[in-house]
Structure 1
Amino acid sequence: MTASGPGSVRPGGRTARVRDAVRKATLAELAEHGYPGLTVDNVAARSGVHKTTVYRRWGNAEGLVADALELAAGEPWPVPDTGTLAGDLRAIARLVLTGFTDPGHGPVTRAFVLAAAQSTGAARALHGFFARRHEQSAAVVERAIERGEVPAGTDAADVVRVAVAPLYYRLFVTGEAVDEAAADRAAASAATAARAGAFVAP
């Protein structure tokens, strides 16, 4: 989304309050109805913002989801620092697991991923969200390189992708159960491969 795209606002004051109210309403609607049931009218009613304003600034459900993801990408994320790459990746995998299984946040997180499969705008926004998370989580691999745990030139984003990808596969492809044991195995596999130099470009 560009600076002039749907949901683009200047920080502070009434505009920021309106954006926050619309975002909270969007998340609540996603939790209750999923992306197929997300409508501007319902978000406007729940947020208390006039629907003309919501239509003008966000346009449609795609714009609402994209803006919510843009806001989420800018929020702090608790990047772990356990002292080892294996420990950090395990903590990241468990954070992802909690994001999908928490009764409050899980439905919204799932709705974002499913929205990306149905909307090009949501897909672009989700890509941006993940890019930001990869940028933040790169610190765990950079520290591992400094400690000599993994070779120089290790692709940090790829290490993190491999640590969490099995969770997404189970959730959205096979429909298998996910738990801490599955998250821990995925993280351990990524750490082992990283130590072996599997993520260093040839």
Structure 2
Amino acid sequence: MDQSADPGAIGRPRRAEEIFAAALGLLATEGYEGLTMESVALHAGVNKTTLYRWWKSKDEVLAAALAGSELLAFRVPDTGSLRGDLIETTRSIRDLLTDTSTAPIATAVLAASPRRPSLAAVGRMFFADRAAREHPIFQRAVERGELDAATDPRLVMDMLAGAIWFRLFLRAEPVEAADIDAAVDMVLGGVTP
């Protein structure tokens, strides 16, 4: 029996983290075109049949890796305030995009997505998963009276994440803690007096 799969496991094989690490590592080093089911199996040390038992294509493996890898794990902060939670979340985004172990993954997805609709779909699933995980931040803020219930959490996070992406990838400038604080304050307070 293939020891890399656990028939009693729900949702993923026993060696999922190795599979996810292989998929993400190959994406970062070989690009989307160089990522194959065969190369993932080889780098993860599992049989190719194990991959096909759980996922039908490299896009499915990649989607699972983006959502389920410990490397890209996302801890939802609970600082007691919307401002504090947004600052911590935005710092996590900055760290994801600048850490040497995760930045190449983000860059590879960003670079390949415009030419690869299937990869763009994987990216959308990843960000939809992140948005769902961030939702408690906004729900708690509404319950504390800090935020109008009609506020669109996705738009708030798009503005904050967009500021980080723009600064890092288009301007090629660092994002300091003070930059994050200022961006959060501007989103929360607006630009008019």
TM-score for both structures, normalised by structure 1: 0.73
Q: Which residue of 2 aligns with 1:23?
A: 20
**Cα distance in 2 between the residues matched to 1:93 and 1:105:** 15
Alignment match, 1:47: 44
RMSD: 3.2
Name the residue aligned to 1:176.
172
Tell me the CA shift for residue 89 of structure 1.
1.0
Distance 2:54 2:93 in 1: 31
Deviation digits for residues 52-104 of structure 1 (CA, Å, limit 9, x no counterpart) = 6657865654343233224359x863111222222211111100000011112
Q: Closer, same or farther in 2 for the Cα pair 1:10/1:192, shift >3 Å?
A: farther
Aligned counterpart, 2:107: 110
Question: Which structure 1 segments of 5+ residues have no match?
Answer: 1-8, 197-202
Higher mean C-alpha deviation, range 64-73 or range 135-144: 64-73
Q: TM-score normalized by structure 2?
A: 0.76
> How many pairs does the alignment contain?
184
Equivalent position of 1:5 in the other structure: none
From 17, 35, 38, the counterpart of 2:35: 38
Runs of 4+ in 1 over 6 A off after TM superposition: none
* Aligned counterparts of 1:141 and 1:191: Cα–Cα separation in 2: 12
* 2:142 is equivalent to residue 145 of structure 1: yes
Q: Does 1:84 align with 2:74?
A: no
Aligned pair 1:68/2:65, yes or no?
yes
In the aligned structure 1, how far is the partner of 2:127 from the partner of 2:137? 16
Task: Flag structure 2 segments of 5+ consecutive residues without an equivalent.
Answer: 1-5
Give, in whole Å, the separation in 1 of the partners of 2:48 and 2:132. 36
